[in-house]
Amino acid sequence: MAEITQPAEHPIEDLHQVVQRTIEDAVRVNALRSAESVINSHVQIAEHAYVVFTVKNQPIIERARQHFLQHGLSPLGRYGQWEYSSMAQVMRDGFAWAHEQKHAHEVVLD
């Protein structure tokens, strides 16, 4: 699988050319022995795949976070935290949040 990113504001390139360039580049870096070894290709476009950071982001994210928290919602994950996180990171944060909630709501019995 090859992942090719491009800015959302750019028009989508000709998909045939993208595939050709990807194969040529894979051969160039010795990831493929030859272009002929590719027997099929499939292109899937994932729009809005990544969060975008600008210098103005942080105060907006913090305001949104506080708004959600005040309403009893805990924003988590890549879009909840507006961060460039991996699957492992978002799962770790989800488990940590669940663990905290469990302890916060535990009834202490004498």
Ligand X SMILES: Cc1cc2nc3c(=O)[nH]c(=O)nc-3n(C[C@H](O)[C@H](O)[C@H](O)COP(=O)(O)OP(=O)(O)OC[C@H]3O[C@@H](n4cnc5c(N)ncnc54)[C@H](O)[C@@H]3O)c2cc1C
Binding status of residue 108 toward ligand X by CB under 6 A: no
Q: Of residues 17, 30, 54, 86, which one binds ligand X by CB under 6 A?
A: 86
Q: Where are the beta strands (DSSP E) in 1-110?
A: none
**Which residue has its beta carbon closest to ligand X?**
77
Any contact of residue 82 with ligand X (CB under 6 A)?
no
Which of 51-67 are b and which e, b meaning 16 or more Cβ less than 10 Å from the residue's Cβ?
eeeeeeeeeebeeebee
Based on the shown chain and the rule CB under 6 A, indicate whether residue 90 belongs to the binding site for ligand X.
Answer: yes
Owner of token pair 């913090």: 62
For residues 65 and 78, which CB has a smaller minimum distance to ligand X in the complex?
A: 78
Q: How many CB atoms are located within 10 Å of the residue 32 CB?
A: 16
| Binding range to ligand X, per CB under 6 A, among 11-19, 20-28, 54-62, 77-85 | 77-85
3-to-16, 46, 88 alpha-carbon distances in Å: 15, 10, 19
In this structure, what DSSP letter does residue 15 have? H
CB of 36 to ligand X, least distance (A): 28
Binders of ligand X among residues 28 to 47 (CB under 6 A) are 46
Q: Give the binding site for ligand X (CB under 6 A).
A: 3, 46, 49, 77-79, 85-88, 90
